[in-house]
Copies of this chain bind each other. A is one copy, B any other.
Amino acid sequence: MNFGSDNQSGASEQVLNAIIAANAGSSSSYGTDEWTHKAELLLAEIFETDLKAYFVTSGTAANCLALSCLVQPWDQIVCHDHAHILNDELTAPEMYTGGARLTGLDIDRPKLSQQALFEYLTTFEGHEPHTPQPRALSITQLSESGCAYSLEEIQALTSLAKKHDMNVHMDGARFANALISLNCSPADMTWKAGVDVLCLGASKNGALAAEAVIFFNKELAKDFEYRRKRAGHLLSKGRLLGAQFCGWLEQNHWLDLAIQSNAQAHKLAQSIQSSCYSELAWPEQKANFGNEVFAFIDNAKIKELRNAGAVFYEWPKRFLPTKDRSDATLVRLVVSFNTSDSELTQFENVLHSSK
């Protein structure tokens, strides 16, 4: 019963086989290999547009390299208060951007709302050159709280951003899960909705260590190769990254993996909703969610579950939607592409048992 994180699974068979196949023989280095080239072509096809794609091994590297292309060191990046870039990447955003400022909004909601962004941007009034100006918006799709932004929500946020001359970044660590949840096309959820650069995560959904930084606005990519090299993220044996992406993207494998984990997550959500010891944390979650379930679970039941071997994390108290619950704990349960039915059944049995 491991619901700790989708980064605790290995690679899917198809991705592993791609690595094995690409390992044979000589290949030119530093990302000039055939797999890297093919992966970029596959992405252009999937996203139905011309684009520039670069591959790195970690989500932090992908996000921070992308952001560094969107702002100057004296600018401000606006994001949701729960965002990974604000809470889980140490000060990598500052290191990569040369010192830009992150501002988190809307701590009480699971997604950044149009209203909060509007209010912030219109009451801002910082005067130049004294105050960092908002120059980039970062949206996490799936949000850090497991909720997918609808296409309308994304468009509303990016419109506001564009009106204020801000570039738009999407942290897509769980992009595929959001895509399945919304049942739309990759293009719809990105450049057609106003996204300039997407960090497409494969590591959490079937790869070992592979993230793509995809520029729909290619002009913004002009310094990317310098930035990646300077950060030590240009792999000499680039085929390792290219091959993972080829194996992941071909034959819709990436979508199949997300379909699988989302479906299992829905079963888990139903167990939680139907138990009298637990409830879903955010009303929003009842609609669009992916492979993560956030729930309040009674404290006694939490203990029982842990005793039975369930692995999951408590969520930071400062993000609590209802701050005054002392009887229950907010937890995050993450489902992976290889979470089994028996794990779900076992979890449900403990959750529903009246002891």
- A236's contact among B58, B124, B229, by CB below 8 Å, is which? B58
CB distance from A222 to the nearest CB of B (A): 11
Task: Given A26-B8, A229-B130, verify A236-B59 contact (CB < 8 Å).
Answer: yes
Greatest chain B CB density within 10 A among A27, A96, A229, A239 is at A229
Residues on B with beta carbons closer than 8 Å to the beta carbon of A59: 236
CB distance from A326 to the nearest CB of B (A): 13
CB distance from A31 to the nearest CB of B (A): 10
Decide: B126 and A316 in contact? CB cutoff 8 A: yes
CB distance from A203 to the nearest CB of B (A): 6
How many angstroms from the CA of A239 to the CA of B128 in the assembled complex?
20
The answer to whether the Cβ of A231 comes within 8 Å of any Cβ in the partner chain is: yes
Decide: A10 and B29 in contact? CB cutoff 8 A: no
Residues on B with beta carbons closer than 8 Å to the beta carbon of A51: none
Decide: A10 and B91 in contact? CB cutoff 8 A: no
29 contacts between A and B (CB under 8 A): A4-B28, A7-B29, A8-B27, A9-B26, A19-B19, A23-B208, A56-B232, A57-B209, A58-B234, A58-B235, A58-B236, A60-B234, A72-B223, A74-B229, A75-B91, A88-B130, A90-B226, A90-B230, A92-B229, A92-B230, A92-B231, A94-B94, A96-B232, A98-B98, A120-B318, A125-B316, A125-B317, A209-B236, A233-B233
CB distance from A310 to the nearest CB of B (A): 13
Chain B residue nearest to A9 in the complex (CB): B26
Interface size on A, residues (CB 8 A): 79
A59-B236, A98-B98, A124-B318 known; 10 new pairs, CB 8 Å cut-off, are A8-B28, A10-B23, A23-B208, A61-B233, A65-B232, A89-B229, A99-B230, A128-B226, A203-B236, A231-B231
The answer to whether the Cβ of A101 comes within 8 Å of any Cβ in the partner chain is: yes
A interface residue numbers (CB < 8 A to B): 2, 4-5, 7-11, 16, 19-20, 22-29, 56-62, 64-65, 72-75, 87-92, 94-96, 98-102, 120, 123-126, 128-132, 203-204, 208-209, 223, 225-237, 239-240, 316-318
Decide: B89 and A100 in contact? CB cutoff 8 A: no
Chain B residue nearest to A59 in the complex (CB): B236
Decide: A60 and B95 in contact? CB cutoff 8 A: no
Tally of this chain's copies: 4
Decide: A24 and B8 in contact? CB cutoff 8 A: no
Decide: A208 and B240 in contact? CB cutoff 8 A: yes
Decide: B233 and A232 in contact? CB cutoff 8 A: yes
CB distance from A10 to the nearest CB of B (A): 4
How many angstroms from the CA of A16 to the CA of B317 in the assembled complex?
43
